[in-house]
Chain A
C-alpha cells in the first residue's frame, strides 16, 4: 500500500513538473525573442544613425556656429526614419527609437564640439602668430 502510494506520488510530481515546464517555456521563449529584437533594434538604430548623420557636416557647422551649433546638436531631437519601424514589433520600435535618437545626438554633439574646438585653436594660433610678428617688428629682432 505504501509502495503504491509513493509510486503514485512520484508520478504525480513528474506530471506536475512537466506541466510547469511546458507552461513556462513559452514565456521564456517570448522573453528571449524580445531580448533578441531589442538587441537587433539597437544595432540597426546605431548603424542607421551613423549613416543619416554626417560627422563632417556637424564638424563644419561646429566650426562656424560654435556654441550655438553644440546646443542645437544636443537639444534638437532628430527624426527617426519611419520606414525602419514598418513591420517591427513594439519592443523593436521602442528600442530603435531610443537608440537612434541617442546615437544621432552623440554623433552631432561630438563632431560639433570637435569643430568648435578646432576653430578656437585656429583662432588662438592666428593671434599668437600675429602677436609674434608684431612683437618681432617692434624689437627689431626676427624670430
Chain B
C-alpha cells in the first residue's frame, strides 16, 4: 500500500479502481515489510546467449552500487574483461591485452538483463518510468496478470506489456507488438527474498518476433546484498600507462 504514498499523482492518472484492486491483490498473499533498502549487490554471473545458430557463454561477476547507480561486470570467461557502466559512460578494460575503451552516450548506460533484475524493486518493474500506464488486471488461479499500455507517442511501434505475478514474485513479462502479437517474453525463477522484494536469480529473455530470434539466459549465484563493495570496484582507475580509446556515442 505504500505505493500511494510514493506515487500519489501516478495512480490518479490511471483507472483508479482497477489499480487499487491490482495493488491490494498483489499484496494480499504476502504483505512484505519493505524495511531494508537495496544499497549494493554482488553475485556470480552466468550468461548464455543463443542467436542465428550461435551460442555464446559468459561467466563472471556482477556488482551494483545503487547510490552511485553503477554496474560493474567482471567477465572471467571467455576473456578477462571489465565493464563499468555509470550514468552516461561505459568503460571497458582489458587487463591482459592492456587496452581500454571509454564510451560516452546521451542516455544512461544499462544492461537490459540486469535492469529487469533491479526492476523488481518496483511493482511495475519500471514500466511507469518508461511512460507505460496501467490498463487492467485479471487473476488466473494464483497468478495476478496486469496489462500496461505504451505511451501514445510510441503506440505505433510498441504494444501492450503484460506482467505476471505469483505470490508476489514476478514470474513473467510479455511485450507485444501494436497488433497484439507476442514480441518478446521474459521468465523469472529462483527468487530470493531481500528487504521485502523478490529478486529472480534465473532470468530468461526470448525474442520471438522480428528478423532475428534470440534467447538469453542469465543466472546469478551466491548473491550478496548490502555488503560493502571491494575497494577495487569502488575506487577503480585505469592504469595510467594504458591507452584509452574514447568513443562518443
A interface list, Cβ under 8 A from B? 47, 50-51, 54, 56-57, 60, 76-80, 82-83, 85-90, 93-94, 97, 101
Contact = CB atoms under 8 A, between A and B. Distances in A.
A90 B105 contact: no
Contact of B111 (A56, A83, A87): A83
Contacts of B211: 47, 50-51
A82 B103 CA distance: 10
Contacts of A86: 47, 58, 73, 75, 81, 83, 111
Contacts of A83: 111-113
Given A82-B110, A83-B111, A85-B83, 19 more contacts: A47-B211, A51-B211, A54-B157, A78-B249, A79-B105, A79-B249, A80-B103, A82-B83, A85-B92, A86-B83, A87-B56, A87-B78, A87-B79, A88-B81, A89-B94, A90-B94, A90-B99, A97-B247, A97-B249
Contact-residue bracket for chain B: 35 or more
A57 to B, nearest CB: 6
Nearest to A100: B249
A93 B78 contact: no
Contact of B212 (A47, A88, A90, A93): A47
Contacts of A56: 157
A77 B104 CA distance: 10
B83 A94 contact: no
19 contacts: A47-B52, A54-B157, A56-B157, A57-B157, A77-B248, A79-B105, A79-B106, A80-B105, A82-B83, A82-B85, A86-B83, A86-B111, A88-B79, A89-B79, A89-B97, A90-B94, A90-B101, A97-B103, A97-B249
